[in-house]
Amino acid sequence: MSSRTFFVGGNWKMNGDKKSLGDLITTLNTASLNDETEVVCGAPTVYLDFARSNLDARIGVAAQNCYKVAKGAFTGEISPVMIKDCGVEWVILGHSERRHVFGESDELIGQKVAHALESGLGVIACIGEKLEEREAGTTEEVVYAQTQAIADNVKDWSKVVLAYEPVWAIGTGKTASPEQAQEVHEKLREWMRANVSEVVADSVRIIYGGSVTGANCKELGSQNDVDGFLVGGASLKPEFVDIINARA
């Protein structure tokens, strides 16, 4: 296995209330978690303060989105400076739901990545192909273009985690096989080697997302170029602890 620190993110999406999230936070705070795994929970905006105030300090918190400027007349948006003011140190950007439900372009996501990094946030940057793109054989073309738009806006890769999430596997119960995940992660690392640098290719963490569960996490996590997970539905359940401990 590589020297890259295993990273497990939980994306709570638009789910939970203070009662259910409070129960989840208690579960995480009292669980035995692998010390060698970095854990970050992506809370809904209105619960960022609640999550950061109640989660144990060893668990990071992420916003699920932010805008590309610090302040202004952008009703409904939040900025990295606001996120940091809540004591939160990460943001998830470019998630497929932002791309495909809310119409965010590669260009906008790149601008958001640049501003979040300039503001001192860590970025979990998401990429991934739709089912029709995989079936048409254009997976590499799609994820390389998405990665290029992100890479053009990154100066310090130590603050970036790349999340490969095939859209056809998100919330569908379909998971990329460990071999499919490894193949794309390996190709992404080769792309980084050719287009960014050898050092970044070896050090950047590329995590997998798409119906990760307690049942499939160990096999997925054993792949050479899979450096962790971005977990959706299962991150709201006690099995999230098993996923965090996939390499334990």
The string of DSSP letters for the chain reads: --SSPEEEEEE--S---HHHHHHHHHHHHHS---TTEEEEEE--GGGHHHHHHHS-TTEEEEES---SSSSSS-TT---HHHHHHTT--EEEES-HHHHHTS---HHHHHHHHHHHHHTT-EEEEEE---HHHHHTT-HHHHHHHHHHHHHTT-S-GGGEEEEE--GGGSSSS----HHHHHHHHHHHHHHHHHHT-HHHHHHSEEEEESS--TTTHHHHHTSTT--EEEESGGGGSTTHHHHHTTT-
Which residue did the predictor score with more confidence, 2 or 103? 103
The pLDDT-based confidence of 1 (bands split at 50, 70, 90) is: low
Instruction: Tell how far CA 37 is from the center of its chain.
Output: 14
The pLDDT-based confidence of 80 (bands split at 50, 70, 90) is very high
Compute CA distances 48 → 7, 85, 89, 126, whole Å. 20, 10, 11, 20
For residue 13, is it within any domain?
Answer: yes
Of 95-109, 173-187, 228-242, which gets the smallest average pLDDT?
A: 173-187
pLDDT at 175: 83
168-197 residue pLDDT tens: 988 888 888 999 999 999 999 999 999 999
Average the pLDDT over each of 109-113, 171-175, 178-182, 243-247 and give the range with the smallest value: 171-175
Percentage of the chain with pLDDT > 70?
A: 100
Contact, 79 vs 66, CB < 8 A? yes
pLDDT digits (tens, 9 = 90+) for 16-31: 999 999 999 999 999 9
- Higher pLDDT: 1 or 136? It is 136
Mean pLDDT of 205-230: 96
- The stretch 67-84 carries a mean pLDDT of 98
CA-to-CA distance for 11 and 92, rounded, in angstroms? Answer: 8
Confirm whether 1 is domain-assigned.
no
Q: Which of 217, 223, 195 is nearest to 8 (CA)?
A: 217
- pLDDT for 58 beyond 80: yes
Domain with 171 in it:
6-245
The CATH number linked to 211 is: 3.20.20.70
Opening angle at CA 130, ends 128 and 131, nearest 5: 130
- Compute the distance between CA of residue 3 and CA of residue 202 in angstroms, rounded to an integer: 9
**Is 233 inside a domain boundary?**
yes
Cα–Cα distances in Å, from 158 out to 117, 124, 200, 208? 10, 11, 8, 18
Q: Does residue 161 lie within any of the structural domains?
A: yes
Residue 54 lies in a domain: yes
Report the number of distinct structural domains present in the chain: 1
> Which amino acids are annotated catalytic?
95, 165
